[in-house]
Amino acid sequence: MGLLGSPFFVAIAVVLGLLLNVAILCNGGKTSTFVRKVEKTVDIPLDSDVFAVPSGYNAPQQVHITQGDLEGKAVIVSWVTEDEPGSSKVRYWSEKSKKKVAEGKVVTYKYFNYTSGFIHHCIVGNLEYNTKYYYEVGIGHTIRKFWFVTPPEVGPDVPYTFGLIGDLGQSFDSNKTLTHYEKNPRKGQTVLFVGDLSYADNYPNHDNVRWDTWGRFVERSVAYQPWIWTAGNHEIDFAPEIGEATPFKPYSHRYHVPYKASGSTEPFWYSIKRASAYIIVLASYSAYGKYTPQYQWLEEELPKVNRTETPWLIVLMHSPWYNSYNYHYMEGETMRVMYEPWFVQYKVDAVFAGHVHAYERSERVSNIAYNVVNGICTPVKDQSAPVYITIGDGGNLEGLATNMTEPQPAYSAYREASFGHAIFDVKNRTHAHYSWHRNQDGYAVEADSKWFFNRYWHPVDDSGAD
Ligand SMILES: *[C@@H]1O[C@H](CO)[C@@H](O)[C@H](O)[C@H]1NC(C)=O
Ligand SMILES: *[C@@H]1O[C@H](CO)[C@@H](O)[C@H](O)[C@H]1NC(C)=O
Ligand SMILES: *[C@@H]1O[C@H](CO)[C@@H](O)[C@H](O)[C@H]1NC(C)=O
Ligand SMILES: *[C@@H]1O[C@H](CO)[C@@H](O)[C@H](O)[C@H]1NC(C)=O
Ligand SMILES: *[C@@H]1O[C@H](CO)[C@@H](O)[C@H](O)[C@H]1NC(C)=O
Ligand SMILES: [Fe+2]
């Protein structure tokens, strides 16, 4: 009999296993033991299939949609024509309605020695809820046709499935993440995108051609379902050394959001209602201190959330407040200090962030007792607090964040350095099923999952509900 089969070896293995378990329990949550094959994250070459330019003179490309109003009855359709302005009209119809036309507008911008194509933005409004619409952009021989489904009317018990993607970029891993999202049997209906889109700024002179390639890459999803945009640091494109000193220039020309509908004065923070969720998008890279526009807006916004109408209160931001990786460590701290008491007061259900290129899920914790002199500055379990999730693992060329702080802090429930995406699947006013999907697994596999109990309607401890 070999050593492996001997009772002695088994006993040792059991003891070691127990010790390992104890060690994990002492330090907060779980650091996944999943071993990912170490590979370099490489950007997709310009001549690859995902970047193909649609055929035909001046054909619309980089088609993308997002919610166009506060409640989900409008869509902003955006696209680019490269050769000439062409038409900014969108023709749209449902099975029940006749063809209608909406007229948009066209913008362009220059960035260093790059000149953009003609970027069209068209608001298609007064749509019926819960309806499939077809739409066409372009003229003559180069009309392109797509479709989308409007959300159900805003209300407390409408089920709805959100996808979560962050820090996507345009590498081979990015393409895997997007493919896994598309093939996930849980079928996301809208993507909550937590910032860092194209990573064009990693190229010489922020080569804006990579903004265009990114637009073509994600079209296969975002032309058919809205992606809700959050601005990350890779959207800033602040480069005074090449004469580009206007922050967010490429991003704000290309990605329009319905910020005015929620009383915001800038496109970087805003909110929308969608089905049974109220989604607040915050700006990690716009001023958020007291008296700033974002602060004033959020202070007025949170009391407006009516949990009888929208039970689920979700916040998106780029830089996470609770992050136990040695990357971007504590970068979210100043914003946390400003806003965390409000999140607890208004019982936010979940906060999704990106920035750190890995995955992490927190316990329900808060850290709001500190007052400079009392020394109370450790996160504590708090049933009024949100769960914080870092989902910056889309797969961009900068690669994975693997270096974690040790020991794992008690607030951290699960962490793993793998690329992937997540799904937040709202069932009704009390229950939402959350799952994280790593790219190495089959499409249906949930590498981490938990039930969320709504903080307003069912505020009981959900930490063990997986
Ligand atoms: C912009 O400048 C860079 C560096 O000088 C050069 O490689 C690139 O070809 C230029 N692009 C255009 C569109 O002129
Ligand atoms: C990207 O993924 C799609 C869908 O899985 C596939 O058809 C395509 O070939 C991939 N392209 C690259 C460059 O990986
Ligand atoms: C909250 O929403 C419910 C359901 O739509 C509505 O009946 C109620 O009047 C709203 N409350 C406030 C304060 O607006
Ligand atoms: C991990 O990060 C810590 C803190 O920044 C650093 O001291 C350490 O050298 C890093 N370890 C590795 C393997 O990079
Ligand atoms: C809400 O959804 C959960 C999970 O699907 C289910 O167990 C529960 O019974 C539902 N509640 C109501 C009132 O339907
Ligand atoms: Fe980032």
- What's the CA gap between 422 and 194, in Å, rounded? 12
Ligand 5 pocket test, pick from 430, 449, 453, 457 with the greatest ligand atom count within 8 Å of Cβ, gives: 430
CA of 414: how far to CAs of 384, 432, 445, in Å? 20, 18, 16
- pLDDT, tens only, 167-224: 999 999 999 999 999 999 999 999 999 999 999 999 999 999 999 999 999 999 999 9
Angle of helix 293-301 relative to helix 333-345, nearest 10 degrees, comes to 20
Residues labelled as active-site residues: 328
Among the bound ligands, name the one nearest to the CA of residue 156. Answer: 3
Contact, 231 vs 198, CB < 8 A?
no
Query: What pLDDT shows up at residue 36?
Result: 83
Please give the number of the atom of ligand 5 that sits closest to the Cα of 451.
4
Among the bound ligands, name the one nearest to the CA of residue 432. Answer: 5
Neighbouring residues of 383: CB distance < 8 A, sequence distance ≥ 6: 364, 455, 459, 460, 461
What is the SS3 assignment for 22?
A: helix
Residue 38 pLDDT grade (very low, low, confident, very high; cuts 50, 70, 90): confident
Q: Is the CB of 113 under 6 A from ligand 4?
A: no
Q: Is the CB of 306 under 6 A from ligand 1?
A: no
- What's the CA gap between 103 and 122, in Å, rounded? 6
Contact, 212 vs 170, CB < 8 A?
no
Average pLDDT, the chain: 94
- pLDDT, tens only, 324-353: 999 999 999 999 999 999 999 999 999 999
Query: What pLDDT shows up at residue 24?
Result: 38
Q: Quote the distance between the C-alpha of residue 254 and its chain's center.
A: 17
- High-pLDDT (> 70) share of the chain, %: 94
User: Which sign does the torsion angle of CA 206, 212, 216, 218 carry?
Assistant: positive
Residue with tokens 């004469």: 243
CB-proximal residues (5 Å) to ion ligand 6: 196, 232-233, 355
- What's the CA gap between 432 and 395, in Å, rounded? 26
- pLDDT, tens only, 61-115: 999 999 999 999 999 999 999 999 999 999 999 999 999 999 999 999 999 999 9
